[in-house]
Amino acid sequence: MTKKLPLPPLTPKEKSVLEFIEGHILSSGVSPSYQEIKDHFGLASFNSVQNYLKQLTSKGYIENPQGQKRAIQVLHSASAVQEHLQSKKVSTATGSHRTQLLQARDEILSLPLLGKVAAGQPIEALKHDEFVDVPPSMVRNPSKSFALKVQGDSMIEDGIFDEDIILIQKQDSANNGDIIVATVDNEATVKRFYVRARPDSGSSEKLVELRPSNSTMKSMWYSPDEVEIRGIVVGLIRKF
């Protein structure tokens, strides 16, 4: 029988992080988010969380697929939890085995929350250290998607309210009637998009209309080269 090589030893903090992940999986059925790990250990930043997970990954204790924060898979336990994991193995359609506790990898998608959409707030200048957990069914293309928090009431008649979180698919084009995130003079806004002649101008020149969904506000009109489409709104999350 081939003798298995021992796993590299863990530092006390690495062992604590691994045990926290294991305990969370056992109690809730899913792995913890970066935010939950950060809060539990009082870490200064998400980089600290990533560093611990990278160490645990390099030592062979976990797998941590990128882009889905509740997808951490425990390969080797720091304690008796390993016995529980081994006893829960099940067969997949291909005949391979995986753990029931870790099947949540496809149930949660984590998108970067880039900040608030508000006049005067360039998207590029906003922080990238927060994430939003969403069901994968809400996002068409996870690798090209992000989230923004709405500021203001310009879209309330479309059911988009102040402090709502909208999910954006990155693209540089849109169809008439789409709700888009656009920048004009490096200022970000969320509006309905139309390309048409301005009714009150007496001209047939096609302009971009960024139309609010609020009857107390007026549309904004721009030449096409003034508007940079950053993406279209594909979903919304509201916390009560």
Is residue 154 part of the annotated active site? The answer reads yes
Q: How far from chain centre, in Å, is Cα 107?
A: 13
Sorted by sequence, the CB contacts under 8 Å of residue 168 that are 6+ apart come out as: 145, 146, 147, 148, 181, 230, 231, 232, 233, 234
Q: Would you state the structure tokens that stand for residue 49, as one six-digit string?
A: 């969380």
Pick the closest to residue 139 from 232, 221, 20 (CA basis).
232
Type of residue numbered 68: Q
Is residue 191 part of the annotated active site? The answer reads yes
Question: Would you call 199 helix, strand, or coil by DSSP?
Answer: coil
| CB-based burial, 207-224: b 16+ in 10 Å, e otherwise | bbbbbbbeeebeebbeee
Options 38, 69, 149, 191, the catalytic residue: 191
Options 48, 116, 154, 218, the catalytic residue: 154
Sorted by sequence, the CB contacts under 8 Å of residue 174 that are 6+ apart come out as: 180, 193, 229, 232
Backbone angles phi, psi at 106, to 5 degrees: -100, 5
Sorted by sequence, the CB contacts under 8 Å of residue 20 that are 6+ apart come out as: 32, 37, 40, 41
CA distance 12 to 180: 48
Residue matched to tokens 């069914």: 137
Catalytic residues: 154, 191
